[in-house]
Structure 1
């Protein structure tokens, strides 16, 4: 039995040393000899004389066990447990030490620690770069992005990690997906990314580990800030935009009935060459609709030229629209200059704020719309172009016609297919979705990583009237995000401009005091004005909406000077 017991003890991987009550060695197994460099002839000798740094003699003396203690020997680092041995009466008979070499485990732990430190350093380096970095696996699934990626694309890590690399692409092909197919590096690829369709240049390379393709890493450079349009006149460059239409119907956010009706009307008319008149309050998205109509039309590959009739000085508006011949006026360029109408040949001319078009220029525009022909300033030869007209206004053109401020024939030529864009207060159910879309867009502009809006703030946004419509909502959210810290992710009530909610509430609760007749007439005037806005100034529709006769409506309009 003793032989079997010795065989078992010599077979275990732990080292074992047994001492008697005098702390003399009575047994040592083979692994203990190997680990500590001992000879088997130490039997019978005091343990403190033959084993360096041992504490078995102390355990024998005080009877206190020592569990999982680290011990350094000449050859190794061991972890040892020393346990006193007692008889049935509690008297100490000796002690046993059981230990194991942890040198390799210690080295492995140090290597893991070093790897974690290296990983932390690499993450810090990736996060500190101003260029966006994204990493995808062999299937084109995004696995890592940095802070600059959120600033440039507008997408947070939670919105893209674990999803196909096409998730952030607005225009162009995903470079990660292309590398997953070709296994080749790609340099200087031009793309548009994120909700704001920011233009970027991407350099990407495949990742190989031991010869096997494991994915790709892309570095995204924001070049939108250095892309500028060139124009011959600095003043006109500030006022006129000659561009390719940027937006489509997918960029028009909202599920309300009114906005869906407007989108359906716009989609239908986009397939025709008909002139469109976009009507609605300031900030309702008239320019967005103009872009979308052009991009859904057969003219989508041709120029889209946008002109704001209210911002160009009257003295140069004619020459900018119709162009001029050499010598037409002092300062005219040699060889003359193409007008914006001619620049839009084959495409679309967007006349924003057409109600502000100077009266002397209206007959020439009318003739062009009727014949598609015009004569440049100072010229004699008639030029013919194929241009589709989209006009927009937030003023009452019917009233302007009545007052002699707008040509009736031009009004009828522009009002071929009117589309009424609803005010934000008439489609409040769209505000939460709109607000989140705007936040993503502003993330790119402000370099923030806002991911959500507190329900209390959303409720506040829905309860507001927003007389400036989507433009005002966007400006408001921009101010709110500026108030946020760089690391804050959710818009909270504390970020709202100070006391704004209290002021708005008090303003709504204020009650005017005056004669009953004056208060009633003032209220009636507001209702009629609101109804006229809703119908775009159409008197018959307004009378039906208010359930009054057309004669009564005209009487009220004249009475209140509407």
Structure 2
């Protein structure tokens, strides 16, 4: 039995360590030695003396199981489950630890002859996974099931163990029985199981010992869980924007000193491979700057991959960034999947809202930035890519570092070249030109033909602080344009939303006495008022007035002469 016991545990993909009631190592399988870089001569030694960061000696004392605990080793971050082993009187006689770097068991064993003889130890192992597992012998008789199996099928171990594998089938053919005939693996079989006729997908493989067929092991997946994961992945695809950079520095509107400083800094760093950290309030244009930096860099013809670290569920963010190998987790695609890091090879990876990156994933990103190397989820081979990192955040990373929410080393790696983007309240002189630019863009989106903004409205939007910055200003102007009639060409006070807080009477901006004036005369009178207002707001600076009105300086001089405006 001892030989069979060793064969079974050495064939399991997870690493296993078993200690006795004195916390001395009684068994360690090959995968545990490899994963923890341990020698084979530790049998009989105190586990806390030979295994770093172990808690097995603590579980021996407390008797409390520790399921799916994160443990750091020299080479990896692993998931460990520590489960007490008790005798028939409930007394602790040892503890088994199961080490794994993925959350599912791909293969239980290849050499199992008599499961009942080792059921007490093996059950502790397979009950540590969320996958439903059933094992049958060479005659198709069920010999072992785990707790997850009971949850999916509704059958307890007493209901099925010792009975033919057809006992839990509501619709379809027993996979265990098929394997007993075919002696071949069967994947993605659709069945209905249990009294509730729950639809499941079954993957099963035959078990051979020295070339002789000894039974089969099946992993059962609830189809509803798979559909949930599929929908989640589809949502991720919608949230992730994988594209070529669309914008350049010419698309960044503004002539204020602060925005010009930011643009000059961005242009300089664009020519280097240095990591850039874009900092500023929400809506200040961090993504726009990321596009522009990429397009001004030597990587402009390579991929630009943008990912919002806050928008992707934490449970799949690592696999989306770094990809995964086939069979890494339930629902993983056949052949695995490339991650966004690999998609960006040769180009730029833009990590938006990097301050929301989960703490558990930060060490892997740090190592990638330092070495440009990574290991896909569920993989063992190191991949190397050439990717330039641009990160962005509106959070106070320094405070997060002090609070332990952000790794100091990752902060220093990202903060190589910080660029601070000013808020609108700090560059109000740019607001008129920004507003005109936004109106032109919204004309295309809304199918409108708005030609300008009245001086009174310009004065109003310049007076506001815009805590949401350019994004808030764009949303506001969008609402204003929706309030306009299709034939209206100028945004006036009467178009502003009721909740804008404006106290000025809207009729002051309207022509109350048209008299016998022609439309041409009225338009010219209105245009003259706009030019006078622009010159007043710029202190008589004609260059700035022309930029505000989005016309050439030559056109401005012509209109001033036409309307008799003194210069």
TM-score (norm 1): 0.48
- The structure whose Rg is larger is 1
